[in-house]
Structure 1
């Protein structure tokens, strides 16, 4: 089995890679894991290598939801099934045998509800830290925006205005720099929705450096251990949390069912859970 992971720099994907490898080895597979490092061209080369190796199945977290399509099509033509985990491919002519991920639209709605709650009747200006290459992040922002728009329709005053939508890269340093730029352009910012924990933590650092960490509230996404700790410490307000271990295990189970000719759910979405400080205070994994 070949697995091209989006990036091993993000602990979320490291959990998926480790769990998938362990679960696959239990089923008798050997697994080659390669780090695409957020680069779709690198990922396409991984898939080419898997074809040369004649692997039984390919798993990937698409580095670009559309641009990875031709590489997947090559695998389709070679008769090697391709499965996606967490991130989806939406390219035409690219056939995905099965997908397991989060219901990201639902999670985005949870994030929007949390933002409306924490900003209260005053509302205010909000920054979105995006990562458009990932279909999961597009869905998160769509869900978030739909809830904010619905909340604004009920408000004569105190509307929540998304004043900037910047690339947070899904990374701490990119999220930090984007937030620092946004604070210069929008000094009255009151909220930030970051599409994952690394970019949320980067945003928090920028707020602290600017002395605005009490003015601006952050909603993240993921539920990584550092994100949960930041919620417990009051640095992030809330996260819709994902379940990467479940994603990895279900992906391996689907591959086995596919190879055995059994029926399985082609698109399996796991509903996230909104995680706040009260949850963090009861979390045995935190200090």
Structure 2
């Protein structure tokens, strides 16, 4: 856990150590564009940006949400540029569609910081701060393999892959990490089968509908990997509605793992319905992004990495109340209160 503590310590670096803003400096406008506020993860991210801004009196936030529409995001970011913001923090809906407005900001001398999801242009972002999404996908595949080995004595079984929102760096990288590791596992374990791979787009209702169809077509599904917790919540609901739920440890239990650490996922894990989530912490990650904005505008730019992975943590029923989980931060619980 030392690596996680080191990262969290970095997030707590005071404004004074990051900047040398002079007294009386007029507040700089910072434009934020998140993909959507319908997803609790981005609610946590927004809370982190807001608390980060509050810690820096020389910054003022203009907050926007694109409601899941890339064109809306483009228009909103264009408007922020026209308001002459001092910096942009962007959570792109699509890595490619955001590029023109990022380049426009670059032309106007407005630094761009991307958060959780990046823009598909080299050198156009001062800092891209994300979780290691390829590692999340890989660890999801390994978790499923471990659970199946405990069940059968060897790594075998039928697995479903419910992809996230492809076209985002997070969705693409998680799928790449999972698929690469799963294929490697299959080479050594021929009894490990992928019975379906479909994109549920980080959407609980879509995941519910897809899983309902898959459960009707397959009576021997052992595990489901999910691109995020919204997918996983939809899967759990479909399993229960189809009367296919069996408790963890039962040989007919369908292993379900998600990604993010949302309140719904944590509740499902506590009830023994969902096996695990690979939790990120959008609150502390967003606070660090604001610290980098502050450092860029008023401090030492040389301390800002071009790209950084924020730590993540596997959460199961056995670890959800552990000291390690509390130290890392169960953000899903925090924003639900």
> Residue 41 of structure 1 aligns with which residue?
71
- Structure 2: tracts of 5 or more residues without a match: 1-29, 247-251
Tell me the residue number matched to 2:158: 125
Superposed, 1:93-242 pairs within 5 Å as 95-120=124-149, 121=154, 123-130=156-163, 131-156=165-190, 158-159=191-192, 161-214=193-246, 215=252, 216-242=254-280
> Displacement, 1:55?
0.6
Any unmatched runs of 5+ in structure 1?
none
Q: Secondary structure at the match of 2:260?
A: coil
Q: 1:185 to 1:77 in 2, by over 3 A?
A: farther
- Cα contact 1:69–1:93 (8 A) shared by 2: no
Residue 17 in structure 1 maps to residue 46 in structure 2: yes
Query: How many equivalent pairs are there?
Result: 283
- Aligned residue number for residue 276 of structure 1: 316
Alignment of 1:226-265 (within 5 A): 226-260=264-298, 261-263=300-302, 264-265=304-305
TM-score (norm 1): 0.92
Q: Tell me how far apart the structure 2 counterparts of residues 275 and 110 of structure 1 sit (CA, whole Å).
A: 12
Shift of 1:80: 1.0
8 Å CA contact 2:227, 2:259 repeated in 1: yes
Aligned CA-pair RMSD? 1.9
Indicate conservation of the 8 Å contact 2:33/2:77, yes or no.
Answer: yes
Q: Retained in 2: the 8 A contact 1:73–1:93?
A: no
Of the two structures, which has the highest relative contact order with CA contacts closer than 8 Å and spacing of 6 or more?
A: 2
Q: Could you tell me whether the CA contact under 8 Å between 2:155 and 2:189 is conserved in 1?
A: no
Q: Which residue of 2 aligns with 1:6?
A: 35
Comparing 93-102 and 66-75, the one that deviates more: 93-102
Query: Which runs of structure 2 are paired with 1:44-63 in the superposition (5 Å)?
Result: 44-63=74-93
Deviating runs (4+, > 6 A) in structure 1? 283-286
Q: Which moved more, 1:47-56 or 1:237-246?
A: 237-246
Mapped contact 2:204–2:230 kept (Cα < 8 A): yes
Q: TM-score, normalised by structure 2?
A: 0.79
Shift of 1:281: 4.5
Larger Rg: 2
- Note the alpha carbon deviations across 1:157-197, whole angstroms, 9 max, x for none: x22x2232222121211211121222234343221111111
